Amino acid sequence: NAGVTQTPKFQVLKTGQSMTLQCAQDMNHNSMYWYRQDPGMGLRLIYYSASEGTTDKGEVPNGYNVSRLNKREFSLRLESAAPSQTSVYFCASTEGRSSYNEQFFGPGTRLTVL
């Protein structure tokens, strides 16, 4: 039982390059999330998917797109990377049907945009 997995763990991009961050969960969770974590800013929600087939913007969606590929997988795409997108990105999931259920987090992707 791997929980939430993310690939890659580290990535360096040049300004203007594109890339996709992959996330998968094996807990049969309904809801999945993408956050970014910056020093002094805590966690900021980029996009989330409350259930398979739906996606919604979070607090900081500009410059990102997402795809809920199936119930297990939720990817985050940077179409044209900018230095302001240098951050640590976390994927998370939750069962979703109850407010009692906690989020489970992946190990993170550390992205640097030069």
Residues at the interface with other proteins (CB under 8 A): 4, 30-31, 33, 40-43, 45, 48, 50, 56, 58, 90, 92, 94, 96-108
- Omega before residue 8 within 30° of 0, cis: yes
Task: Kindly state the smallest distance separating residue 112's Cβ from other proteins, in Å.
Answer: 15
- Taking the least distance from each CB to other proteins, the nearer of 2 and 14 is 2
Task: Kindly state the smallest distance separating residue 74's Cβ from other proteins, in Å.
Answer: 13
22, 44, 76, 91, 98 from 69: Cα distances, Å: 10, 22, 11, 14, 23
